[in-house]
Amino acid sequence: MSSGGSLSTMQRLVEQLKLEAAVERIKVSQAAAELQQYCMQNACKDALLVGVPAGSNPFREPRSCTLL
């Protein structure tokens, strides 16, 4: 929003900033640890990370016929 906005725009901006300032936050160290934990827990299911058993990849090279 341009800083030359009307009075009501500025009032809304101030209210919005008050709301955002009041958000409850956790430390980055804790947030980062949890992001990492999620990755580790789900890595084994991530086909783009660990691959899938050969033959079960639906996008393997097309063969001469496809089963419906």
Give the residues lining the site for other proteins (CB under 8 A): 1-3, 7, 10-11, 13-14, 16-21, 23, 25-36, 38-43, 45-52, 57-61, 66
The least distance separating other proteins from the CB of residue 49, rounded to whole angstroms, comes to 6
User: Cα–Cα distance between 68 and 63 in angstroms, integer?
Assistant: 13
Which has the closest alpha carbon to 47: 37, 38, 56, 35?
Answer: 56
User: Cα–Cα distance between 61 and 57 in angstroms, integer?
Assistant: 9
The least distance separating other proteins from the CB of residue 35, rounded to whole angstroms, comes to 6
The least distance separating other proteins from the CB of residue 37, rounded to whole angstroms, comes to 9
